[in-house]
Amino acid sequence: MNLLFWGLTVSMVGKVMLATGVLIAHKELAHERKIDKLVLKSFRIEHTLTLAGLALIVAGYGMELYFYDFVQMLTCFGSECALNASVILSQ
């Protein structure tokens, strides 16, 4: 398995964690219809899942950039960037 697979997988896990955290907190709030300790606990779980999900999304994005060799675009200048872009786009 290559880096692209892992980048896409890590990114997808992050997105699922993000959505799960939001759904847990909102379900609890809708069920309780008031903010109490149970709802606040679900918000803390949502906060943790959201941060972990965002970290995985960013890590997956970095893996995808590295796989597609877009990293070279971060350090180029002027006509060198144009050359790098044309090489990347021609693949």
What is the spatial distance between Cα 1 and Cα 10, in angstroms, rounded to a whole number?
Answer: 13
Q: Using the predicted structure, report yes or no on whether residue 1 has a pLDDT greater than 70.
A: no
- pLDDT per position as a tens digit, 46-68: 888 888 888 888 888 888 878 87
For 9, the token pair is 């997988």
In the numeric block, the tokens 């965002």 are attached to 54
- Looking at the chain, the number of H-run helices and the number of E-run strands are 3, 0
- Dihedral sign of CA atoms 56, 61, 62, 63 in order: positive
